[in-house]
Structure 1
Amino acid sequence: MPDHETPEFRPAPERASSTPRVIAAALACALAAAAAWWYWLRPEHAIVAPPSVATAPEAPVAPPPMPEASGPQNPVDALAPADPALPALAESDQRVTALLAELLGRDKLASFLVTDGFVRRVVATVDNLARAHAPSRMWPVQPMPQRFVVDDQGDAGTTISAANAARYSAFLTFAEAVPLDSAVALYARLYPLFQQAHEELGYPKQYFNDRLVAVLDHLLLAPEPQGPLRVKLTPVNTDVPNLRPWVRYELVDPALESLSSGQKILVRMGPANEARAKALIRELRKRVATSALQLPQR
């Protein structure tokens, strides 16, 4: 058992139908996670209604579970040697924070990332981005208090406002400025901590870097719809006044609404921002996919 395991750091249950930078991965995956908060402003205590039953055919929302393996498919020691004197995972926050501050700068670190339990947060978020839900309380990024905005198109319905795309500019600019080679080297240096956190999630014979590569591939397969996206309010049967209706919007298109949490985040960002995010994901994958597997084809 982990030293301070809580339910939120356990793996989400698999659906019957279901089969970015940790240090560096945190920055790609934090990109997606921050994007979700900026869009939906979903507080930790918000009651999230279950998605409405759609007529779309069931489809996996996550890569198939990683099989048990005798060794990693994407060895991290090919990137850089691990630090031989790492602290225990439960005592690693101070060391990890100092190294992140050295890489990113203290001001940017404080503005964008959450360093308390950073390693566990990154591992849990990477895993969850390919699942139906990626709870915001587990993200390794700071929430941004900006409201999701929609446009009323009359008979055409409600659509995501084009103004929402501007919310991502600061975070995308931050992520694009990160020295990726240095970030990936730091990831490899700290990798034993990420591997331990991955095992604590319930994967004792699997490898976190392999999961990272699989999730990056999954995100790159997100569709790229053009034009305004229609949304609707999720119905909630309650007598309690709803003072924050903007947290209850879901996509009208059942095929889009059935995407994984990470893919929906990319779609909601808008076409230009999704393209920028995918460029970051591809650059990260080039570095961490040490087996030189081909990028997924659309």
Structure 2
Amino acid sequence: MSSSKSPSNTLVIVVVLILILLLGGFIYWNSTREAEPETPVTPTPMPQPVTPAPQPVAPPAPEPEPEPEPEPEPEPAPTPEPPPEPEPEPAVELPPLNESDDFVSAELGEAAPPELVKLVVPEETVRKTVRAVIGVSEGRLVNQYRPVMSPLPTMGVTQTAAGADPEYQLTEQNFARYEQHIALMESIPPENLANMYTSMAPMFNEAYAEQGLEGDFRDVVLEAVNTLLATPDIDEPLTLKRPTVMYKYADPEIEALPEPQKLMLRIGPENRERVKAYLREFKQALEE
């Protein structure tokens, strides 16, 4: 746990991963039967010498009514032309990494709320973000060269046991101070963040390679997300000790957790579940 005098690294956990996602660009179905012929009638022969009255001649059989011609088959409607394929969005033209700060500031200004943008350190943002995310993926925190400022007040605790070895717990006021930052995070759709990160991936990969590391930085982002998602779900209040100026969790198993997970515990159960829900959606979008 951090000392009450040290700057809050929790903001790095809540905001830095969101910032890394913000640094990006933008985001595309009868035939007719013949009539029967007349039937001829042969007259009956007359006996001789009597001339009988002429026998009536049967009228010819009426011609059958011709069958009506069937209605012609309607012509099939013409197949509509398929709509033209939408043209792909032009790729974002990225500046050189050494000249990326103005570009990043402009992109953040359009994509993120002002309250979130003002937390960004406007110098070497991409490189600092890469270092911070590498740290989280490895279960540690980067205290130097952080990409965001830490304006939060000191950690809020209350003493629950006195004596030679006093005990403390985090307060509800401590949890409440993170709500604004989490709301800022939630104001940006996770799928938008995934698309935005992808469009600027070349710059992040370049900064990642500068660290002497190989591979796709996207995998590091996912590993950092997995580290945070693996934070245990603990709802009951956690007891703290203060053997020196630093607070520590009294439970040795909790104190042995990676630093990012211990800080996820610090923001409180409700806030932690909101952050996890957001990161799950972002992870799914980034993996698609």
Normalised-by-shorter TM-score class: 0.5 to 0.7
RMSD: 2.2
CA distance in 2, matches of 1:192, 1:231: 43
Amino acid at match of 2:249: L
1:234 Cα offset (Å): 4.3
Work out which of the residue numbers 169, 176, 183 in structure 1 matches 2:179. Answer: 169
Contact 1:25 1:284 in 2 (8 A): no
Contact 1:160 1:228 in 2 (8 A): yes
Q: What does residue 216 of structure 1 align with?
A: 225
Amino acid at match of 2:219: D
Amino acid at match of 1:282: R
Tell me whether 1:139 sits opposite 2:139 in the alignment. no
Work out which of the residue numbers 100, 103, 107 in structure 2 matches 1:99. Answer: 107
Contact 2:137 2:227 in 1 (8 A): yes
Cα 1:176–1:119 change in 2 (3 A) is: same
CA distance in 1, matches of 2:257, 2:144: 21
Contact 1:113 1:140 in 2 (8 A): yes
- SS class of match (1:152): strand
1:179 Cα offset (Å): 3.3
Q: What does residue 60 of structure 1 align with?
A: none
Per-residue displacement from partner, 1:181-202 (whole Å, max 9, x unpaired)? 3332221221100001111122
Question: Identical aligned pairs, as a percentage?
Answer: 28
| Unaligned segments of structure 2, at least 5 residues | 1-16, 24-88
Q: What does residue 16 of structure 1 align with?
A: none
Cα 1:168–1:192 change in 2 (3 A) is: same
CA distance in 2, matches of 1:114, 1:251: 31
Cα 1:23–1:113 change in 2 (3 A) is: same
Question: What TM-score do you get using the length of structure 1 for normalisation?
Answer: 0.63
CA distance in 1, matches of 2:167, 2:149: 32
CA distance in 1, matches of 2:280, 2:100: 29
| Unaligned segments of structure 1, at least 5 residues | 1-19, 27-79, 236-244, 291-298
Contact 1:121 1:140 in 2 (8 A): yes
Tell me whether 1:148 sits opposite 2:155 in the alignment. yes
Per-residue displacement from partner, 1:138-170 (whole Å, max 9, x unpaired)? 332221140212111126822222320001011
Q: What does residue 295 of structure 1 align with?
A: none
Contact 2:22 2:108 in 1 (8 A): no
Q: What does residue 24 of structure 1 align with?
A: 21
| Further displaced range: 226-235 or 93-102 | 226-235
CA distance in 1, matches of 2:143, 2:248: 17
CA distance in 1, matches of 2:115, 2:216: 30
Q: What are the within-5 Å matches in structure 2 for residues 106-121 of structure 1?
A: 107-121=114-128
CA distance in 2, matches of 1:234, 1:81: 57
Q: What does residue 70 of structure 2 align with?
A: none
Cα 1:212–1:138 change in 2 (3 A) is: same
Contact 2:121 2:149 in 1 (8 A): yes
Per-residue displacement from partner, 1:12-50 (whole Å, max 9, x unpaired)? xxxxxxxx3353278xxxxxxxxxxxxxxxxxxxxxxxx
Q: What are the within-5 Å matches in structure 2 for residues 1-298 of structure 1?
A: 20-21=17-18, 23-24=20-21, 83=92, 85-105=93-113, 107-154=114-161, 157-203=167-213, 205-235=214-244, 245=245, 248-290=246-288
Per-residue displacement from partner, 1:81-140 (whole Å, max 9, x unpaired)? 853x321111100011101101114x3244332232111122111111133531233332
Contact 1:161 1:228 in 2 (8 A): no
Question: What TM-score do you get using the length of structure 2 for normalisation?
Answer: 0.65
User: Aligned residue pairs: how many?
Assistant: 204
Amino acid at match of 2:159: D
Contact 1:130 1:260 in 2 (8 A): no
Amino acid at match of 1:288: L
Structure 1 or 2: larger helix share?
1
Q: What does residue 65 of structure 1 align with?
A: none
CA distance in 1, matches of 2:212, 2:254: 29
Per-residue displacement from partner, 1:244-283 (whole Å, max 9, x unpaired)? x4xx212121111111122111111111111011011101
Cα 1:264–1:25 change in 2 (3 A) is: farther
CA distance in 2, matches of 1:147, 1:218: 25
Amino acid at match of 2:218: N
